[in-house]
Amino acid sequence: MLDRDAARSVLETPDEDVLALITAAGRVRRAHFGNWVKVNYLVNLKSGLCPEDCTYCSQRLGSSAPILTYSWLSAEETVRQATAGIEGGASRVCLVASGRGPGERDVDRVAGVVEAVKSAHPGVEVCACLGILRDGQAERLRAAGVDAYNHNLNTSESRYAEICSTHGYDDRVATVEKAKAAGLSPCSGLIVGMGETDEELIDALFALRALGSDSIPINFLMPFDGTPLADTWLLTPLRALRILALARLACPASEIRMAGGREMHLRSLQTLALHVANSLFLGDYLTSEGQAAAADLAMIADAGFQVLGTDPDRGRAPAVIRLRGAGTPQAPNA
């Protein structure tokens, strides 16, 4: 198991040795995931007007970022958007809603949306990202057919108070633990480039390892105008690669996803990053545009990888996500 000294050495890898680092991390990636890339697609169920004050977020309390704001999408519109992603190659649909956390009626609403999505696309995985969960809500989502729950730690415990004052690090950990206990596959990751030190980054990744996060999205800060972190540009493409390599080596069997901001910070090194990460989001993010979906799929093919499909005709990889629950662990839907 990677220790702190080894983790520091990864982040301190000289520029001339980064390719050797990617080769080493790539061997680990292929040992667990072969040449498969899992494609995920975001559907933003509810946008903006969030009461939380996370400094990185364009939807935060007090944000003047020029974003769309709207209440809940209908089930029909959600299925339409999900279908676009699935037809583009996605095997997981991530249903996201702004806010501190869902109310009881919100959970019922999401349950109906999940039923509609899975009725239209029986083989697709559904991940919900609805904020901080109350007791019993994770179990209701699981019963409704949700496969995974995303709630990112975002940064280290020691740094958390600097990026949010309206909830705490412990609230996020507790939500991940509730999702796990209910049998949902835990998806939890980071936002990097917010001024964190190497030690704080290592703390955060080791915390995700201790939580047993099945899927670890690595987001690269997009410094939105109208937020406290506007004009914060602390990452280079090589630094972003080192961070992805550390995530892979620290959590070798977890799905490592290059997520928001990859186009902005990895730039021409995105293809190289696929040799470390085994997952990405297709197309746009919550409130910002991503790379064109066709360009994403071409990038995957050009690098010699295959898209993980939802049916045998499009391919199926070995068990990637370990859905948790009573009895024998289940194989993934994708």
Contact 309, 98 (CB under 8 A): no
Q: Is the pLDDT confidence value at 222 over 60?
A: yes
Report yes or no: 237 and 197 within 8 Å, Cβ to Cβ.
no
pLDDT of residue 126: 98
Asked if the structure places residue 329 within a domain, the reply is: no
Q: pLDDT for 71-120, tens place per residue?
A: 899 999 999 999 999 998 999 999 999 889 999 999 999 999 999 999 99
Full residue range of the structural domain in which residue 187 is found: 4-310
What is the C-alpha to C-alpha distance for residues 126 and 149, in angstroms, rounded to an integer? 9
User: Is it the case that residue 320 has pLDDT exceeding 60?
Assistant: no
Type of residue numbered 87: E
Q: How confident is the model at residue 69 (pLDDT cuts 50, 70, 90)?
A: confident
Among residues 67, 202, 211, the alpha carbon closest in space to that of 151 is found at 211
Distance separating alpha carbons of residues 276 and 244, to the nearest angstrom: 7
Report pLDDT for 10.
98
Name residue 139's amino acid. E
Residue 171 neighbours by CB under 8 Å, 6+ apart: 132
Beta bridge partners of 127: 94, 148
The CA-CA-CA angle for residues 114, 68, 195, to 5°, reads: 95
Identify the H or E element spanning 187: strand 185-187
Residue 19 is predicted with a pLDDT of 98
Q: How confident is the model at residue 48 (pLDDT cuts 50, 70, 90)?
A: confident
Reported as a pLDDT band with limits 50, 70 and 90, residue 310 is: low
Highest mean pLDDT among 237-241, 315-319, 320-324: 237-241
Whether 29 is in a domain gets the answer yes
The number of folded domains in the chain is 1
Q: Is residue 323 part of a domain?
A: no
**With pLDDT > 90 as the criterion, what percentage of the chain qualifies?**
78
Q: Is 222 helix (H, G, I), strand (E, B) or coil?
A: coil
Number of Cβ within a 10 Å radius of residue 275 = 22
Residue 319 lies in a domain: no
pTM (predicted TM-score)? 0.90
Residue 326: band (very low, low, confident or very high) from pLDDT cuts 50, 70, 90: very low
What CA–CA distances, in Å, run from 329 to 32, 184, 209, 305, 332?
A: 17, 11, 19, 27, 9
Q: Is the pLDDT of residue 325 over 90?
A: no
Choice between 332 and 316, residue whose per-residue pLDDT is larger: 316
**CA 19 to the chain's CA centroid:** 25
- Of the chain, the percentage scoring pLDDT greater than 70 comes to 90
Tens digit of pLDDT for each residue in 6-42?
999 999 999 999 999 999 999 999 999 999 999 999 9
Residue numbers annotated as active site: 50, 54, 57, 94, 127, 187, 257
- Residue 271 lies inside a defined structural domain of this protein: yes
Where does the pLDDT of residue 58 fall: very low under 50, low under 70, confident under 90, or very high at 90 and above? confident
What single string gives the DSSP state of each residue in 259-272? -TTHHHHTGGGHHH
Looking at residue 285, its pLDDT comes to 60
Instruction: Please provide residue 161's backbone torsions phi and psi, each rounded to the nearest 5 degrees.
Output: -65, -20
Q: Is the pLDDT of residue 140 over 90?
A: yes
CATH number at residue 223: 3.20.20.70
d(CA 224, CA 277): 25
Rounded to a whole number, what is the largest CA-CA distance in the chain? 54
Dist. CA 298–CA 289, nearest whole Å = 18
Report if residue 327 sits inside a domain: no
Give which of 278, 279, 283, 308 is closest to 296, Cα–Cα: 283
pLDDT digits (tens, 9 = 90+) for 179-208: 999 999 999 999 999 999 999 999 999 999
Sign of CA dihedral 46, 51, 57, 63: positive
Q: Would you state the pLDDT for residue 268?
A: 96
Q: Per-residue pLDDT tens for 253-294? A: 999 999 999 999 999 999 999 999 999 999 766 555 677 888
Asked if the structure places residue 263 within a domain, the reply is yes
Is residue 322 scored above 60 in pLDDT? no
Residue 328 belongs to a domain: no
Average pLDDT for 166-188: 98
Q: Mean pLDDT for the chain?
A: 89
Residue 64 pLDDT level (bands cut at 50, 70, 90) = confident
